[in-house]
Structure 1
Amino acid sequence: MIDQQWSGVRRRVGVLGALSGSSRVFGSHGHRWALDDPLAADGLAELEAQIGVRLPDEYRTFLTCVGAGGAGPAYGLFPVRRVQGRWRWEGDGADLADLSMLARPFPGHGPDPRDRDALLAVRPEEEGFDEIEDFDDAIEAWDERWHALVFAPERTAGAIVISHLGCAQREWLIISGTHRGTVWSDWRADDGDLVPLRDPAGEPVTFTRWYSDWLRQAELTAHQPPTNA
C-alpha cells in the first residue's frame, strides 16, 4: 500500500528523467534518475532489527513505497542494500556513520567551543617555518588533532549519511534522539560543523520536506527553456 505522501513520486521521477532538460538538474549525472526497488516489509524489518532502532516514519515509508535509494537531492539518495547477509548504506561517505551506534541519541551539538577555538588558534601558518617540509609535518599533526575533535564517531551517533553534495560536503538523517527525522548538513570538511537544515520559517527540515522540495525544484529546472550561450 502506497503511503499518501509518496503517492506518484516514483512516477514523477521517471517522467522527469525522460525530459531533455533533466540534465540541467545538479547531480543528475550521478544518480541518472534511477531508483532502486522499494524494500519489502520483511527486508525493512530485518534492517531495523540489525541496527537496533526503528527508522523515522517518513524515511521508512519512502523506502517501502518509493525506493531503497537512488534519484534524489544532489548526487542522489544513498541506497540501503543487503550485502553478504548484512544491511548497509552505500555512497561517498556512507561509511562515516557507525552502524553500531544508530540506536544511541544524536547529540545535536559539536565539541566544546573552547576546545575548538583553542585548536584553531594554534593552526600552523606557513610563514612561521623556514622549511616547507617542517610546515607540512606541523599541519599534518594539526589536521590529525582537528579530525579527532570534530570527526569523533560520537558526534554522529544516531545518524546516517544520506547524500553527497561534492567537495566532502554531505547530509545526514537523524534517526535517534530529540532531533529524530530531521536532516543536517555537514560542513566539517570546510572547518564548519554539523548544522540542521531549516525551512524559510526557521523550522527543521524533515525527510519528506527535504525530498519533496528537491523534486519540485528539479521539475521546475527541467521544464525551463534552455538559455542561449
Structure 2
Amino acid sequence: MLFRKKETQLDRIKYKLEKAMQKDTAFLVFGASSHQYKVDRKLTQKELTQWQVENQVTLPESYAQFLTEVGNGGAGPYYGLYSIGKAASYTASHALHSKCVLYPEMTKEDWNHLIEPLIRDEDISDLEYEAARERVLGGMLCIGTQGCEYDMYLILEGTYRGKVVYTSDFHPDHPFFFVYEEHFLDWYERWLDEIILDYDITWFGSRMPGDEQALIQVYQNAANREMETKALEGMFKFKKVTQPTIEFLISAAEQSQHDRSTAIQLICKTSIDAGRELLLELMHSERNEDFLQALNILNWYGKSADLTEFIQVILQSLDRVQDPETLRHVGYVLESSGAITLQNFAPFLCHTDPNIQTAAIYAARNCSNKSEEWEIMEQMLMGSDQKEVLKHTISYWGLIPHEKLLPYYKAVWPEYKNQPHFREKFIDCLKELDLRDDYFDEQ
C-alpha cells in the first residue's frame, strides 16, 4: 500500500506560487510585473552555512528553509524579495547580529525617544547618525522594498526573532509596523492565498488576516475598541462582501458610533445602494467630519452609481462648507456629475481665504459658458491679491474672452508675454474678440 508523503508548508507554497501565476497572468497585482512570480536559484545548504558563518548570524528557520527549498529571492510581496546578498547590504555586518530594539505596539513615546538623534539633532556627525540608524534597524535583515521609503525587514535576533516588520522613514509618532504572522513562511503563504482569492493586496500584510466570517467573529468577541476597529479595517482587503456581511456592517453602523463611518464605507465599497440611507445620514450630520467622510465615499465608490439624490443634498449644503479640504471633495463629486456652475460656486470663487478660492477655481475648471458669467470673474479680480487669482484662473481656465476683463489681462500681460504657453492663451483670447495681436502692448 502506497502512502502519500505528508504535505509541508513549503510544498503548499510551491504549489500556490504556480496558482498565483495562473491567477495573475497579466501581472496586475501590485509589484508582480517586477518579479513575475519567478524565484531565483535556491541556496545550497553549504552556501547558506557559509553566509551565516561569515556574518555571524543564524537565520530564522522558516526564512532559511525558504532560501534553500524555494528560492534565494524573487517572487514575493510588493516588489519581491531580495537575494540574501542584497538583503545584507542594507545593514552593517556588525549591526546584523545585534539585538532588535523594536517591538509590537511600541509606544509613540518610546519610538520618539529612539529616533530623536535622527530627526532632532542638526549637528550630528555622519558617524553618529549611522550609529543611531543602526540602533533602530539593528538585528534585522532588509528582505525587500514596498517602494518609496517603505521596506520589509526580518527580525534576526531578540524576542521577536522571525517576525516581519514594515518600515518607513523615521517619522515622529509612527513606529514601524509588525505584521500579524508569527514567522516568514506564514506571511509569505498569506500573500499567495490573498492573490489566489482575488483580494485587494495593495497594502498587503497591514490589515488583519482572515475571511469575512473570521473577522466578524473577531469583532464580536473583541475585548476593546482597538480590536474591533482592526477587524473592520481588515475587511477593506475584500473587493466586495457578501449580503450576510453587509447586514452585519449595517448593524455595526447602527449600534456603534465609533465604527459607524468605517462600516458605512465598507458597505458602499460593495454597493452604494446598500448603504444609501446610512450615507445620507452621514451627509445630514452636523459634524463636518461625517459630511467629509460621505464625500470621500461618493468619490471613491460612486462612479457607476446614481448619485442624483446625493448631488441635491450637496448643493443644498454648500453654505456649510468652510474649509478647502471639504470644498475640494465637494468639487470631485460634483464635477463627475457636471453639477458645478459658476453661480453656485460664486461664494467660494470670491472668498477672502485664498486657499478656498484656489480650490474653487480648480473645481470649476470645466464649467462651460464662463464668458456669460464674467461678472463673477470681475468680482474675483477685485480682491486684494489680483495677480494670484489671475495666475490660477489662467492656469486652470485659460483667458475668458470678454471685453470687460481685458483691463485685468492687460495689467499682467508683461509678466506672461515671454512665456510661450501663456502668451498663446492671451493671443487666442484676442482673436476670439477680433482684436489685434499687439492689443496688450498698446499704451
TM-score w.r.t. the length of structure 2 is 0.38
Q: 2:69 aligns with which of 33, 57, 65?
A: 65
Q: 2:47 aligns with which of 32, 43, 59?
A: 43
Q: For residue 155 of structure 1, what is the amino acid of its counterpart?
A: V
Q: 2:158 aligns with which of 165, 172, 177?
A: 177
Q: 1:8 to 1:37 in 2, by over 3 A?
A: farther
4+ residue runs over 6 A deviation: 117-120, 142-145
More helix by share: 2
Tell me the CA shift for residue 100 of structure 1: 2.6
Q: For residue 141 of structure 2, what is the amino acid of its counterpart?
A: I
Q: 1:117 to 1:47 in 2, by over 3 A?
A: closer
CA contact (8 A) 1:3 1:61 kept: no
1:215 matched to 2:185? The reply is no
Distance 1:42 1:114 in 2: 42
> What is the root-mean-square deviation in Å for CA atoms of aligned residues?
3.6
Q: For residue 14 of structure 1, what is the amino acid of its counterpart?
A: E
CA contact (8 A) 1:169 1:189 kept: no
Structure 1 segment 12-31 matched on structure 2, within 5 A: 12-19=16-23, 21-31=25-35
Structure 1 counterpart of 2:133:
152
Higher RCO (CA < 8 A, seq sep 6+): 1
TM-score w.r.t. the length of structure 1 is 0.68
More strand by share: 1
- Number of matched pairs: 191
Secondary structure class of the residue paired with 1:208 = helix
Tell me the CA shift for residue 148 of structure 1: 3.3
Distance 2:150 2:48 in 1: 28
Distance 2:39 2:117 in 1: 45
Q: 1:6 to 1:116 in 2, by over 3 A?
A: closer
Tell me the CA shift for residue 26 of structure 1: 1.1
Distance 1:44 1:115 in 2: 33
1:34 matched to 2:28? The reply is no
CA contact (8 A) 2:115 2:136 kept: no
Distance 1:7 1:95 in 2: 30
Tell me the CA shift for residue 105 of structure 1: 1.1
The higher radius of gyration belongs to 2
Tell me the CA shift for residue 17 of structure 1: 2.3
Identity %: 24
Secondary structure class of the residue paired with 1:30 = helix
Distance 1:119 1:19 in 2: 43
Structure 2 counterpart of 1:89:
86
| Structure 2: tracts of 5 or more residues without a match | 1-5, 200-303, 305-443
| Structure 1: tracts of 5 or more residues without a match | 81-87, 124-140, 200-204, 223-228
